[in-house]
């Protein structure tokens, strides 16, 4: 019996960004240099496949520093940590490596700079996300307020509207964030913003790639984890662009094929913490059900590379 034809529009860019690649390489190089176990505070990136792959090599993932024994290296995740975490590591004389994405670190420095000059900070982001927890932990508690939506931006009260600044989580919806910023700028015309937007290049590029194919798809799959902010945003972007079926899927085995009944054109992308091997896995599963034709859709070319910590540079690693 012949298979039904399915055209897959493969979004570009997709999958790993430079910050994720750097974080994973930090764990892998630390295992090579120091031997197992190497402890990692929080998931290094939000993807179970990646975490389990590193666990198989000897990484041990914990939620808090008090779970890390003496005498072993510990790595802080790509999402960043509050200042109290490295302070506590130093108090305990733990050797630590910081895998915080440099673009998240940039937001941390912005927050510190605003506090130094007396600005009260409005942080646009999602409550409880590790990146938000880490950013809020860079400054005194009374120096920063979280804004999650345009509705909240309409209602928020501040003591001194003349000394106000905003920063943002790096993995937000570009369009939703623009709405929130527009409200803040209308309500607080003196508000200071970043010279260059805080939403990272990879988040922006992946959302633009989804926009370029969403209207031509009967359904769109985003390969990524439920706790991955940038992956969740890709689903929302597809829906906003008019794609009636937009689904977040962790692995091919999680696919509900009944949702793709009647679909002749399928969009496929991956969040910034999802490896390409999982995209290939989904494509193989599609081939088992359909006669698949793949169309690669061109998008922004990414050539960003972030340096590793000096302790893990080639010279240090071979010393």
Round to whole Å and give the CA distance between 162 and 233: 32
Nearest CA to 232 out of 274, 279, 290 is that of: 274
Round to whole Å and give the CA distance between 313 and 318: 8
Q: What is the 3-state secondary structure (H, E, C) of 238-274?
A: HHHCCCCEEEEECCHHHCCHHHHCCCCEEEEEECCCC
Contact 316, 309 (CB under 8 A): no
Tell me whether residue 280 is one of the annotated catalytic residues. no
Encode the chain (319 residues) as per-residue pLDDT tens digits: 689 999 999 999 999 999 999 999 999 999 999 999 999 999 999 999 999 999 999 999 999 999 999 999 999 999 999 999 999 999 999 999 999 999 999 999 999 999 999 999 999 999 999 999 999 999 999 999 999 999 999 999 999 999 999 999 999 999 999 999 999 999 999 999 998 889 999 999 999 999 999 999 999 999 999 999 999 999 999 999 999 999 999 999 999 999 999 999 999 999 999 999 999 999 999 999 999 999 999 999 999 999 999 999 864 444 4
Domains parsed from the chain with CATH numbers? 4-16+201-296 (3.40.1010.20), 18-101 (3.40.50.11270), 103-187 (3.40.1010.20)
Active-site choice (93, 131, 148, 280): 131
| pTM of the shown model | 0.94
Strand order across the 290-296 sheet: 245-249, 219-223, 265-270, 4-10, 290-296
Contact 216, 34 (CB under 8 A): no
């Amino acid at each position: 019996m012949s298979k039904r034809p399915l055209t897959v529009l493969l979004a570009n860019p997709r999958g790993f960004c430079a910050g994720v690649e750097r974080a994973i390489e930090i764990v892998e190089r630390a295992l090579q240099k120091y031997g197992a176990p190497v402890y990692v505070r929080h998931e290094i990136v939000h993807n179970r496949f990646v975490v389990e792959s590193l666990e198989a090599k000897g990484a041990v993932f914990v939620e808090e520093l008090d779970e890390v024994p003496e005498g072993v290296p510990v790595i802080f995740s790509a999402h960043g940590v509050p200042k109290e975490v490295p302070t506590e590591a130093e108090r305990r004389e733990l050797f630590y490596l910081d895998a915080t994405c440099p673009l998240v670190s940039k937001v941390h420095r912005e927050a510190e700079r605003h506090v130094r000059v007396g600005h009260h900070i409005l942080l646009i982001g999602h409550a409880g996300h590790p990146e938000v927890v880490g950013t809020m932990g860079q400054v005194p508690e009374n120096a920063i307020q979280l804004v999650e939506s345009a509705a909240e931006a309409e209602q928020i009260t501040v003591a001194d509207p003349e000394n106000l600044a905003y920063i943002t989580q790096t993995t937000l919806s570009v369009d939703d964030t623009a709405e929130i910023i527009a409200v803040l700028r209308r309500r607080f015309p003196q508000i200071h913003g970043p010279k260059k937007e805080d939403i990272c290049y990879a988040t922006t590029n992946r959302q633009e790639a989804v926009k370029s194919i969403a209207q031509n798809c009967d359904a769109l799959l985003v390969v990524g984890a439920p706790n991955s902010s940038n992956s969740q945003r890709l689903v929302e972007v597809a829906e906003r662009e008019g794609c009636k079926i937009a689904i977040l899927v962790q692995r091919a085995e999680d696919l509900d094929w009944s949702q793709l009944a009647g679909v002749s054109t399928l969009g496929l992308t991956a969040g910034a913490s999802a490896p390409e091997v999982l995209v290939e896995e989904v494509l193989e599963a599609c081939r088992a059900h359909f006669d698949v034709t793949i169309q690669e859709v061109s998008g922004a070319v990414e050539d960003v590379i972030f340096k590793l910590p000096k302790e893990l540079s080639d010279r240090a690693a071979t010393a």
